[in-house]
Copies of this chain bind each other. A is one copy, B any other.
Amino acid sequence: MSQNSGDLTAERQDLVVEDLEDLALGEDYALNPEYIDMVVSAADRGDTERLRELIEALHPADVADLMAFLSADYRQEVLAFIAPDALADILSELDTNIREEVLEQVTPAALARALEDLDSDDAADLVEDLEDDKRDAVLAAMSEIDRAGIRTSLAYAEESAGRLMQREVMAAPQFWTVGQAIDHMRQAGDELPDLFFDIYVVDPSYVPQGAVALSRLLKTRRDTPLAQIMEPVSEIPVDMDQEEVAYIFDKYHLISAPVTDPAGRLVGQITVDDIVGVIQEESQEDILALAGVSDAGRDATVMGVARSRFWWLLINLGTAVLASSVISLFEGAISKLVALAVLMPIVASMGGNAGTQTLTVAVRALATKELTSVNVWRTVVREVIVGLFNGSAFAICVGLVAAFWFHDPMLGVVIGMAMVINLSAAALAGIFVPITLEKMGYDPAVSSTVFVTTVTDVVGFFSFLGLAVLILL
């Protein structure tokens, strides 16, 4: 493979820039591995002209992707060939670890220029990642207006609507007509956001009264008053958590929404492209949290990754020792009938899997607000019936397996009973643990798994071994 791609790379040194653009992305629209090889080999050859062409042929998002696939040395070489006006966009796309590394290498002056090109939300995100002295230097190199804007953004809580919004909006008084709005936009130019989708119609104290989509505006006669075609808006309070903001955007299919201060005045807007990122982030967090990992990123050090997983394993060790101490209560029984040791993991493992199924569904239903006080009892009853049903079905399967394997029908009965008990316990724990954690204000995705598997391990071993002592010995 590497032999082959080496040849290809050599062959392709005569490709012109348009060809490079076609070659950059693979069929799956991700950056082509071969293209990354070409970058590495141009860097190794010291072919700076080629390196510049290769980098200039890429969209900023793909340059960011390229950086993530390269090691730190190559990254530094690539960085030297990024055009100053592309720097801002690339910086906003980089993974956090790499961004911090790159930010250290860019001069405060270059950074200040790049930040002035960005919307206020993206600029604030970058400034936040800077170390204190560098932050001061960069802010000092910016214009007073931009500096004040970034300071305002950073004053809002992390992951709040205020941090997500851009301050640039297109607002119009209620008495304007379509024609007046269009003429204003043509003149205002740079004061307006780079890209926007709605005009917010405001009253004299700047409180939003409605919104007019640009496509609606363009389909309407010039003399129509905005007040006549505006539609009601969902206002986003500036201190709302970004998860709530994403929920509202998704629920009402919003493209943009006005952000208001506690007095109800328009202070900025959030657009859907920021929300797509939040939605990705939040479900990513849930997936990883359920498995007990925090996202250390592509470029994390081995020690960083090991540490991010250590604590979850340590908590699970506590659980496992607890389960073992339940087993140790029955050492006498096991030494009399070793079949118990052979079969006991089946009961615990089936319980663990059934519990994980229930809790995953519950965690998602809580996250999407499909599980609330209205249907909580209906859901609990349903889960318990499902637990009893699958418990009974597997009681028969496992009971038959055990009875034939060890030629002992009563052993089959015992493991079957334990299976019904443990799958019911799994259902109860799977639904009540996440609901209780949520009620107590914890994120149910983060800690439910360990509680539920503790229940299924302990109940599984205790019911199986306990019933064996009562019935078999």
CB neighbours of A253 from chain B (8 A): 61, 273, 276
Judge if A152 is at the interface, Cβ distance under 8 Å: no
Most buried by B among A193, A214, A344: A214
Judge if A227 is at the interface, Cβ distance under 8 Å: no
Smallest CB separation, A182 vs chain B (Å): 6
Do A220 and B283 touch across chains, with their CB atoms under 8 A apart? no
A131 to B397: give the CA distance in the assembly, Å: 38
CB neighbours of A284 from chain B (8 A): 283, 364
Judge if A349 is at the interface, Cβ distance under 8 Å: yes
Judge if A306 is at the interface, Cβ distance under 8 Å: yes
Judge if A20 is at the interface, Cβ distance under 8 Å: no
A357 to B450: give the CA distance in the assembly, Å: 13
Closest B residue to A245 using CB positions: B29
Interface segment, one of A46-54, A80-88, A366-374: A366-374
Given contacts A30-B372, A394-B317, contact A323 B345 (CB under 8 A): yes
CB neighbours of A206 from chain B (8 A): none
Given contacts A196-B215, A346-B324, contact A313 B272 (CB under 8 A): no
Interchain CB contact (< 8 A) of A292 among B319, B353, B385: B353
A194 to B255: give the CA distance in the assembly, Å: 13
Judge if A354 is at the interface, Cβ distance under 8 Å: yes
A163-202 toward B: CB 8 Å interface, digit per residue (1/0)?
0000000100000000000100110110011111100000
A361 to B296: give the CA distance in the assembly, Å: 10
A394 to B265: give the CA distance in the assembly, Å: 56
Judge if A348 is at the interface, Cβ distance under 8 Å: yes
CB neighbours of A439 from chain B (8 A): none
Given contacts A327-B342, A341-B334, A390-B306, contact A316 B252 (CB under 8 A): no
Given contacts A341-B334, A345-B345, contact A313 B215 (CB under 8 A): no
CB neighbours of A306 from chain B (8 A): 385-386, 389-390
Do B312 and A353 touch across chains, with their CB atoms under 8 A apart? yes
A301-316 toward B: CB 8 Å interface, digit per residue (1/0)?
0110110011011101
Judge if A13 is at the interface, Cβ distance under 8 Å: no
Most buried by B among A195, A251, A335, A397: A251
Do A309 and B386 touch across chains, with their CB atoms under 8 A apart? yes
CB neighbours of A373 from chain B (8 A): 1, 33
Do B255 and A386 touch across chains, with their CB atoms under 8 A apart? no
A287 to B357: give the CA distance in the assembly, Å: 10
Do A317 and B185 touch across chains, with their CB atoms under 8 A apart? no
Smallest CB separation, A343 vs chain B (Å): 6
Do A302 and B185 touch across chains, with their CB atoms under 8 A apart? no
CB neighbours of A222 from chain B (8 A): 186
Do A192 and B219 touch across chains, with their CB atoms under 8 A apart? yes
Closest B residue to A272 using CB positions: B272
Do B345 and A324 touch across chains, with their CB atoms under 8 A apart? yes
Judge if A159 is at the interface, Cβ distance under 8 Å: no
10 extra interface residue pairs, beta carbon distance < 8 Å, beyond A170-B215, A324-B345: A186-B220, A192-B219, A255-B272, A283-B284, A293-B357, A305-B382, A320-B346, A321-B401, A327-B341, A327-B342
* Interchain Cβ contacts under 8 Å between A and B, 22 examples: A30-B247, A30-B372, A69-B374, A188-B219, A194-B215, A196-B215, A255-B255, A284-B364, A287-B360, A288-B360, A288-B361, A288-B364, A291-B359, A291-B361, A292-B353, A309-B386, A312-B353, A312-B357, A313-B350, A320-B345, A331-B339, A340-B341
